[in-house]
Amino acid sequence: MSLLAQILVNGVLLGGLYAVMALGLALVWGVLNIVNLAHGAFIMLGAYASWHLYYHLHIDPFLGLPLTALLMYAIGYGLQRGLLNFVVRAPMFNTLLITFGLEVVLTYLAQLAFSADFRTINPPYAGSNLQWGTVVIPVVRLAAFGTAIVLTVGMWLFLLHTRLGRAIRATAQNLVAARLYGVEPRHLYATTFALGIALAGAAGGLYGTVSQINPYIGATLTAKSFAISIIGGLDNPLGVIVGGLFLGIVESLTALYIGPTFADVASFGILVLVLIVRPSGLLGKTA
């Protein structure tokens, strides 16, 4: 039982990180109708930004998250206004092609800049643990989980209770009606995309504290984020939390009882099952 409890705790901690990874993808997909295949590459860039802040400027990786998010926000805003704004209302195949090309470019630029070596962010407390009965909780993973939940709930409150958040939700629901109420779509689209990339950058900073990073992690993280967005539902940020926690627990249990090589098989098997049984996601609105 103690081993099962440990695995469940690890799954929950992993799931919280998964949730904030997927939140930016779900936001961009739900508002701009763009499946951003470069999402994982932006997570990777956020991880490298946090790595540089820590090792070159000696800024704690958690305290440096606002700087990482701000940098990624600026990159996201510029990319949307200068590139993706031309294909916002284009067929989805066009947006898939351009974001896939962007992912390839960012990956190889990262390889040129940082090399293909594995890197980690190891603050002094990286080896510290908390004991809860027989369960060991790594301090860094707990801090990453807590930060991820704060970011996700904060984004949910932002969308519900701020003028900009309501404008984003209105545009996602009915662009014509939003225009009539004075919403300027180009700026709103760029802001929404930038927020998604800022969340991806923050997720990358958290990811770098609990796992190794290299320029090629992006594709896997994009696939995970895509699965969580579908499982949780695109129209509910809290659904992304549920999807992330659910996927983290499923992967941990699969690794324990079947084998770690089957964790990805189980997660994407769950995705297929959700698409068949409840296409709107676990907490998504049914038609």
What pTM value is reported for the model?
A: 0.89
Residue 69 forms part of a structural domain = yes
Residue 105 forms part of a structural domain = yes
- Per the structure, the complete domain to which residue 83 belongs is given by 23-219
- Mean pLDDT over 100-116 rounds to 91
Residue 121 forms part of a structural domain = yes
- Mean pLDDT over 133-158 rounds to 85
Which residue from 12, 21, 22, 20 is spatially nearest to 230, judged by alpha carbons? 22
Residue 244 forms part of a structural domain = no
Q: How many domains does the chain have?
A: 1
Residue 278 forms part of a structural domain = no
pLDDT tens-place string over residues 153-196: 888 888 888 888 887 777 776 666 666 666 777 788 889 899 99
pLDDT tens-place string over residues 36-86: 899 999 999 999 999 999 999 999 999 999 999 999 999 999 999 888 887
User: What is the spatial distance between Cα 48 and Cα 42, in angstroms, rounded to a whole number?
Assistant: 10
